[in-house]
Amino acid sequence: MATLAIRDLYKRFGPVEVLKGIDIEARDGEFIALVGPSGCGKSTLLAMIAGLETVTSGQIWIDDRLVNSVAPKDRDIAMVFQSYALYPTMTARQNITFGMESRGVPRAERDQAVRKVAQLLQIEALLNRKPGQLSGGQRQRVAMGRALVRNPKLFLFDEPLSNLDAKLRVDMRTEIKKLHQRVGKTTVYVTHDQVEAMTLASRIAVMHHGSVQQFDVPQRVYSRPANMFVAGFMGSPTMNFLPATLGVRDGDACAEIAADGGTASLPLARRPARVPDSGKVVLGVRPEHLYRYDQDLKARKPTVVPVTASAELVEPTGAETIVALRMGGHDIVGRFDPDAAPQPGETLTLGIDMAHACLFDPDTQLLIADGAA
């Protein structure tokens, strides 16, 4: 197994700066996800780790070895591509063993390695088929088998599930997680799908415009996003953002927001470490932290604060119902249990759970940290 360290990494294509001072470390056996919108630089970063792109400045270390100038074949890595990259005229077995055969690995050793990975990936019955005879999920398993058979220090995945349908993506996501748990190899996984990143990774690097916006464990990236971009990108539906002013009510710090009939004062569950000079903030609330308010909810969740809102659009999805709401002139989205979801046109008392609310600086868009307890 291996560690990976990326230090102050820059990449330029002519005058265009694609990566800007990337600093990421992966511990031995860790699963790191690089996530972000198209064009954020995540695939370029993966290509640089693989040696397929040169480094403009900065360092890439695998274990205690600086690999900036090391050829891809000598980095002891294996890469799984979005397009599978299988040879169409070869069987699955031949695709898996092609690299080993090129390196002169004896036949008996190749056969043993194929048996091992085929059993691990449950593709024993597919070894004599060609890629054209395989489904997308089966081809991706073969591509993973080709990577596994090398027993590399580092696995790199470049959006391996983006060509699959929704159900198969979920199934393959589970298989990749099981695979990582079995083999325990250090893995870097590129995706634009924040659900893949959240479910697979031990830590997530959220990228935007060539920079890492936040690098942390999935739950902290989701619940305490470093800035408004991360807050808006991670989660579907996205976090609600409401302009607010910090104030004091009954001696407690509160966020004052526009609400139907005037202004609502929402007591803060966490006191901010600082207050912008203007007193203005952006209040961030996830859709799942909005509820239909009643006294039973208040007893169970004392940090829930009532406000008035109206339901405009209802989208049943089965296990949950997504509702577009209008509150104080602002559009927000809530995620409700189907039995408690409001109906279109209904005016309701909405409960906002302030225990999970985030405050952002409207000028810098950075999360305002919590103050001392």
Please tell me whether the peptide bond between 237 and the residue prior to it is cis, using omega within 30 degrees of 0. yes
Judge if 210 and 265 occupy the same domain.
no
Judge if 169 and 257 occupy the same domain.
no
Judge if 80 and 159 occupy the same domain.
yes
Q: How far is CA 123 from CA 119, 142, 166, 205, in A?
A: 7, 8, 21, 32
The answer to whether 58 and 22 have CB atoms below 8 angstroms apart is: yes
End-to-end CA distance of the chain: 41
Indicate which CATH number applies to the domain containing 56: 3.40.50.300
CB atoms within 10 A of CB 88: 8
pLDDT at 261: 67
Judge if 163 and 289 occupy the same domain.
no
The answer to whether 57 and 35 have CB atoms below 8 angstroms apart is: no
Judge if 50 and 199 occupy the same domain.
yes
Judge if 81 and 174 occupy the same domain.
yes
Query: In a structure prediction context, what are the per-residue pLDDT tens digits for the chain, which is 373 residues long?
Result: 689 999 999 999 999 999 999 999 999 999 999 999 999 999 999 999 999 999 999 999 999 999 999 999 899 999 888 777 889 999 999 999 988 888 888 889 888 989 988 888 888 999 999 999 998 888 888 988 888 888 889 999 999 888 778 888 888 888 889 889 988 999 999 999 999 999 999 999 999 999 999 999 999 999 999 999 999 999 999 999 999 999 887 778 889 998 776 788 899 988 898 888 888 999 999 999 999 998 788 778 889 999 999 999 999 999 999 999 999 889 999 999 999 899 999 999 999 999 999 999 999 999 998 875 4
Judge if 289 and 221 occupy the same domain.
no
CA distance 343 to 310: 9
Q: Is 368 inside any structural domain?
A: no
Judge if 97 and 138 occupy the same domain.
yes
- What letter represents residue 308's amino acid? T
Rounding to the nearest 10 degrees, give the CA dihedral for residues 287, 166, 37, 366. Answer: 20
pLDDT at 69: 94
Can you name the residues that pair with 161 across neighbouring β-strands? none
Can you name the residues that pair with 61 across neighbouring β-strands? 5, 66
Residue-wise pLDDT tens digits, 315-339 = 999 999 999 999 988 999 999 999 9
Judge if 164 and 258 occupy the same domain.
no
Judge if 193 and 299 occupy the same domain.
no
Q: Is 131 inside any structural domain?
A: yes
pLDDT at 166: 83
- What is the number of domains present in the chain? 2
Domain-terminating residue out of 208, 233, 258? 233
Question: Edge-to-edge, what's the strand order for the sheet holding 280-285?
Answer: 262-267, 252-259, 240-249, 280-285, 358-360
pLDDT at 371: 72
Domain carrying residue 162: 4-233
pLDDT at 175: 86
Q: Is 126 inside any structural domain?
A: yes
Residue-wise pLDDT tens digits, 113-157 = 899 888 888 889 999 999 999 988 888 889 888 888 888 899 999
Judge if 100 and 244 occupy the same domain.
no
Can you name the residues that pair with 355 across neighbouring β-strands? none
Q: Is 365 inside any structural domain?
A: no
Domain-terminating residue out of 184, 217, 233? 233
Judge if 190 and 246 occupy the same domain.
no
Q: Is 370 inside any structural domain?
A: no
Indicate which CATH number applies to the domain containing 275: 2.40.50.140
pLDDT at 99: 83
Domain-terminating residue out of 167, 202, 233? 233
CA-nearest of 254, 257, 249 to 272 is 254
Length of the chain, in residues: 373
Q: Is 367 inside any structural domain?
A: no
